[in-house]
Structure 1
């Protein structure tokens, strides 16, 4: 190892000698502070290398970090951080000790003036001069643009919202009594925080995650009779019979009860994805629920590892229960005896959109047609083109289908003799027309292109990775791929003995064109790539088919089928198509691929690379499988306690972090969860510990943060909220769509989202606003904001802590560069509005906030 380390160091030294850069960029440099603090003469290899780089004569160094020093610290900070010491050392490194001394002196002058809030004009003028001097000195070496300066209310779009008030029920109190008795008996610490934060902690805690749970389990294994007596009359423990029979389960915790009510009142349990921010026609069916228009995914932060597991498990169960209740109501069943399926059976449910074969004959051609990117249907049924044609984007779904049907009829008129569709003596209607007609149109338009696409799709199906085959009816990769190839062959073979076309053929084709998985995916990819060579169009069609296939597997999942299935005898593929039509799948995919182009770093790639990268990202987001969480229930028989392990799936809500294993499988799972949450599809709630608090993006489809447990530091609170307050975040896109949606949809830009942001940039540039607008900040009256939720239990210590913390969040920037910031804030907090002009502004020259106190200019 020493030899390898020395070789690495030597290679680094040689590279540094040979390179002659004009600019060196160090990102997140706060992670390497030990290198910055090292003395000039040091024997530490990394520090020596850093000093050589810093001291190059020609190269300029750009150091990037949002947190080069901790913005706010308490005098008894448990991590030992000290804002003042940290800040001054950073300035010394960047500007040199003499300038650091001047900055330190001027900051002290500012601090004294703020503490006294004197009315003496001379002292006020002196403080203003000190502020200007600090800004001037620091702008030589650093800049920092605060988002608060560019919103009218100085709130950076962050608003405190309220969940339904957490209500502690008598059952909750009985649960506390049980937990307290158990904790005291097994010799564990006060369990109040466990009870306040998590429902059913004894059932949901991992066995080795908490001392309380470990001690409890040890006593269970020992057969502790006293513990058995306690549990025999206990309240607040999970009863598996309730879950098994899909009965209503008490949330068991005031905070979870509040979150559950808030999430499900939106109608989110009845849909598979969030409504699009920029729709091309009115949402229908379950997507027309009034609560869904303003709904966004919830990001929950807790200090306890059991909380993410509890939230994801119990919210997912409630979503399942509601779907099951809807399913029973639709089937007009009155008791479980009529339909014996139970919760345990969910994992063994049959997938209704599977590609089935019988005696080497494909039996699921309508399902197959959902995924095929028929070229002519894609062209004539684009809902965006319909909106542009009628100059409106608020048409009802049926009117959009009417217009799309006209385009289909014009194509069919060229394909079919008029008599063939009207003569009754041709026998019964032939349902094969539903999938054959779109293919006949493609072959008629360009036979060579249709054949080339078929060959490319066959190659794709042969080489399909095994990981993408999960959810198929056939367990083996070969069998699954063979079923798909047989359906492809049937599409290419096209029967020559077709009977009479169905009367509703144009309408069904219009529906397939507007909402089909393959056609929608093809149009979405075309919007970000444009029209190019036949080879690129062929590859794009295969990419669209792969996305459509992932969507088909989504609709196959056991937790999804009850959500989508309608009452009556309509085939499930029709239900899936109707869900896509109701939810504006085209608008959803257009928005998603636009977001992915930049988030995946594909903006400057050629069209083929862009399409490949985006399609893979969409497939990965759709590929998140339900996670199975282990829970434990207890049965008391005399002096003995028997524990039973059960499995519960999570899909509507998911957890991030909190798993004890740190292997590759866990890492892959965490990455998959993050990708799925950053998509419009489920999960709609993500619960995390502090592991998700720094350096991760969760903003593409979330602008709501729930502070389950409040942090001690206001910077930590803002850091959490920063996860959903980023470039082109969900709240920003909603507001852009509100202000520029009509202009974008009815304009000429291939990608309407690019058109919307281009229009917003023109407006902000004309007004001379910071470049933070519109990409990071864009507000509109009554529009979306970054939502801050704090479910504090009434009359608890959390209420007082919430008041102190939210008060400090609005004020702590005044304590910039001051020692013992918490003491300083206690003095100036009540007068912070009068002192607002004293906030140090380090934004680049020419972009300073226009909201500076006019009185300061007079002084």
Structure 2
């Protein structure tokens, strides 16, 4: 029941408080303690188990879903029949708690504030459009919370949380602490904004909400697959192993997913999420035609290509529309505008303010470039006596000239190249490539 309470979207508790509303009320980012206190859940008879208090709070389901039974709820996103039977019994127990005496527990407010189920419901509610329904939001939150459950069930996740919080407390309390420390709501708000942008809309109806929820679940619940390598002995025996995020490069195909060519897309979807994997190592096959910009703005070059076009293509993987560096700058500059706005979606409010602000970037702003401290990072590995050291100097100049033909030089590289040629960049004429304003266009 503790697990069910962790991942159950509770509209009644969500109606009591919201992270963004609390931040706007205090005109600053709220602390976990402030947010917990905003729920006001001290009333009621005390109970031994926090989940009894959780399920006793009115509003366990949206009004239009009050007639749904335990079997229907348990089958919303459950494939395994035996697991579904166990889940059904737990759901039935939760539904029976409705209408009974409201109970309290010292951990109830913390559960309401940071449980993944509650957080997913509030995040999807803020992202939902006018055409969405309460039941549609709840169903999408139930599916997304189930994806988060699979994430917290992983062996590596359990090991991480045990390292961070120890094993003296129950694991579900470590999950709550991790969601609070990592600000799961902010993570989901940004992720849902990206997923909605990929659909080409910010007005999400019930079907679009479920689509983005399932897309997130695909990234969260990537399963391990089997690979076959060859040993380094003379007989070259097969070595079988499993991996969650690796994509086959050479060798034998072992699983049906690999044969179908599905694995690459699955791993790419997981990488383009705020969840693991956090580092992508690739051969040159990943240097063009693939987007990695959603949560990356650094490229480490283990070697250098022979021409500036390939060099540009590599860094172009993380320098794209509404990329990570762009969003970091928009967030840094327009947090106060978000607090002053009444828009329930923080990122929509931030980009609305960015669109209305003035800067020198023209139509590239705010989606492709935006002023601020975040930049696309280029990291090169300079090995001693490597030919890449001299090669980089030539390649950097060639890349600057290549970009100059497109009207988009990297300013640091441009200034450095001019200095090496004995020219002062401040004394050179400037070509203004911005489109003419509407006032000038009339003349």
SS for the counterpart of 1:569 is coil
Give the Cα–Cα distance (whole angstroms) in 2 for the partners of residues 594 and 515 of structure 1.
20
Q: Which residue of 1 is the match for residue 145 of structure 2?
A: 548
Once the two structures are superposed, what CA deviation does each residue of 1:766-807 show, in whole Å capped at 9, x if it has no partner? x57412111111122xx2111111113121112222222122
State the 1:384 CA deviation: 1.7
Distance 1:667 1:644 in 2: 22
Deviations 1:483-541 (A, max 9, x none): 2222111111129998x956xx1x422211221111111111111215667xx211210
CA drift at 1:841: 7.6
Specify whether residues 519 and 657 from structure 1 end up closer, same or farther in structure 2 by C-alpha distance, changes over 3 A only.
farther
TM-score, length of structure 2 as denominator length? 0.84
C-alpha distance in 1, partners of 2:25/2:214?
Answer: 32
- In the other structure, the counterpart of 1:777 is 369
1:692 equivalent in structure 2: 286
State TM-score, norm by structure 1.
Answer: 0.45
Superposed CA offset, 1:804-846 (max 9, x none): 2122212234678xxxxxxxxxx99954957996998876555
1:441 to 54, 57, 61: 57
Q: Distance in 2 between matches of 1:460 and 1:799?
A: 61
Paired residues of 1:704 and 1:787 also in contact (CA < 8 A): yes
Q: CA deviation at 1:619?
A: 1.0
CA contact (8 A) 1:630 1:647 kept: yes
Q: Secondary structure at the match of 1:695?
A: coil
Structure 1 residues 712 and 447, CA gap change in structure 2 (3 angstroms):
closer
Distance 1:694 1:574 in 2: 43
Q: Please state if 1:371 is matched with 2:371.
A: no
1:786 corresponds, among 370, 376, 382, to 376
Q: Which has the larger radius of gyration?
A: 1
**Structure 1 residue 581, shift from structure 2 partner:** 1.1
Question: What is aligned with 2:33?
Answer: 398
Distance apart, 1:632 and its partner CA: 5.0
Report deviation, 1:388. 1.5
Q: 1:606 to 1:398 in 2, by over 3 A?
A: closer
CA contact (8 A) 1:657 1:670 kept: no
2:264 is equivalent to residue 670 of structure 1: yes
Residues 321-349 of structure 1 deviation map (CA, whole Å, 9 limit, x = unaligned) = xxxxxxxxxxxxxxxxxxxxxxxxxxxxx
Alignment pair present for 1:736 and 2:330: yes
Q: Partners of 2:157 and 2:229 in 1: how far apart?
A: 23
Matches within 5 A, 1:599-638: 599-603=198-202, 607-630=205-228, 633-634=231-232
Q: Following TM superposition, by how much is the alpha carbon of 1:570 offset from its aligned partner in structure 2, in angstroms? A: 1.3
Match for residue 413 of structure 2?
none
Q: Is the 8 A contact 2:334 2:354 kept in 1?
A: yes
CA distance in 2, matches of 1:743, 1:670: 39
Give the drift of 1:729: 0.7
Which residue of 2 is the match for residue 27 of structure 1? Answer: none
Unmatched 5+ stretches in structure 1: 1-364, 422-428, 467-476, 817-826, 848-859
| 3-state SS, counterpart of residue 262 of structure 2 | helix
Residue 753 to residue 606, structure 1, CA distance change in 2 (3 Å): closer
SS of the aligned residue for 2:348 comes to helix
- Deviation track 1:186-231 (CA, whole Å, cap 9, x = no partner) reads xxxxxxxxxxxxxxxxxxxxxxxxxxxxxxxxxxxxxxxxxxxxxx
2:115 paired with 1:512: no
Distance between the aligned counterparts of 1:832 and 1:389, measured in 2?
A: 56
Aligned position for 1:200 = none
The answer to whether the Cα contact below 8 Å between 2:230 and 2:236 also exists between their aligned partners in 1 is: no
Matched, 1:383 2:19: yes
1:134-161 deviations in Å (ceiling 9; x for gaps):
xxxxxxxxxxxxxxxxxxxxxxxxxxxx
Change (3 A) 1:832 1:558: farther
Cα pair 1:521 1:586 within 8 Å, conserved: yes
8 Å CA contact retained: 2:12, 2:59? no
Counterpart of 2:88 in structure 1 is 485
The residue matched to 1:740 in structure 2 has which SS? helix
Match of 1:408 in 2: 41
Other structure's SS at 1:789 match: strand
Q: Which residue of structure 1 lines up, in the alignment, with residue 134 of structure 2?
A: 537
Separation in 2 of the partners of 1:658 and 1:388? Answer: 54
Residue 414 of structure 2 corresponds to none
Q: CA deviation at 1:753?
A: 0.7
Where 1:796 maps in the other structure, the secondary structure is coil
Q: Which ranges in structure 2 are unaligned for 5 or more consecutive residues?
A: 407-416, 439-443
Question: Separation in 2 of the partners of 1:745 and 1:631?
Answer: 54
Count residues in correspondence. 423
Residue 462 of structure 1 and its aligned partner are, at CA, apart by 2.9
Retained in 2: the 8 A contact 1:704–1:789?
yes
- 1:800 aligns to what? 390
Shift of 1:680: 0.2
Tell me what 2:354 maps to.
Answer: 760
Distance 2:14 2:250 in 1: 45
Residue equivalent to 1:812: 402
